[in-house]
């Protein structure tokens, strides 16, 4: 069985930690779990991504889907929507990552932090909590 990439592996691949990367990491893990598969060795796992944001790097690293192998397909719809399917099993999953914000101070703070490009260590810890 192949080792699943850690979040730190994904950060190293992408270059920095950010909310979009965290979302992509969670989406990738959910896809692998629900499809009962591991990182693509070749082209058996396909990801169709509907945005070109940071989270797509997490999907590349965790799932092994790349433009070069032809198993990462980009559709420029600007949505946090990700479709995965396994060519061997014929199984697929579509994941829509939607943020639900309540009108409280903690959620307002999260929205503020999510718009920053550089976070302090304390801010990173705050987001993880």
Task: Please report where in the chains the tokens 């979009």 appear, as a residue.
Answer: 20
CB 126 within 8 A of CB 116: no
Q: Is the pLDDT higher at 86 or at 3? A: 86
Reported confidence tier of residue 3, pLDDT bands at 50, 70, 90? confident
The least confident of 4-13, 55-64, 97-106 is 97-106
Question: Could you tell me which CATH class the domain 7-98 is placed in?
Answer: alpha beta
Q: How far apart are CA 49 and CA 35, in angstroms?
A: 17
Q: Is the pLDDT higher at 2 or at 96? A: 96
Order of strands, edge to edge, in the sheet holding 72-74?
Answer: 72-74, 45-49, 81-86, 92-96
pLDDT in tens, 72-96: 999 999 899 999 999 999 999 999 9
pLDDT in tens, 25-61: 999 999 999 999 999 999 999 999 999 999 999 999 9
Domain borders along the chain are 7-98, 99-129
Find the mean pLDDT for residues 114-126.
Answer: 67
What percent of the chain has a predicted confidence (pLDDT) above 90? 67
């Amino acid at each position: 069985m192949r080792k699943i990439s850690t979040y730190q592996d994904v950060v190293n691949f992408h270059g920095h930690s950010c909310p979009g990367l965290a979302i992509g990491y969670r989406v990738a893990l959910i896809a692998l779990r629900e499809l009962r598969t591991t990182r693509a060795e070749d082209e058996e796992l396909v990801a169709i991504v509907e945005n070109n944001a940071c989270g797509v790097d997490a999907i590349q690293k965790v799932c092994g889907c790349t433009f070069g192998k032809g198993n990462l397909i980009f559709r420029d719809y600007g949505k946090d929507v990700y479709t995965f399917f396994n060519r061997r099993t014929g199984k697929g999953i579509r994941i829509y990552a939607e943020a639900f914000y309540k009108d409280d101070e903690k959620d307002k703070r999260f929205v503020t932090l999510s718009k920053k490009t550089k976070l302090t260590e304390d801010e990173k810890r705050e987001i993880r909590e």
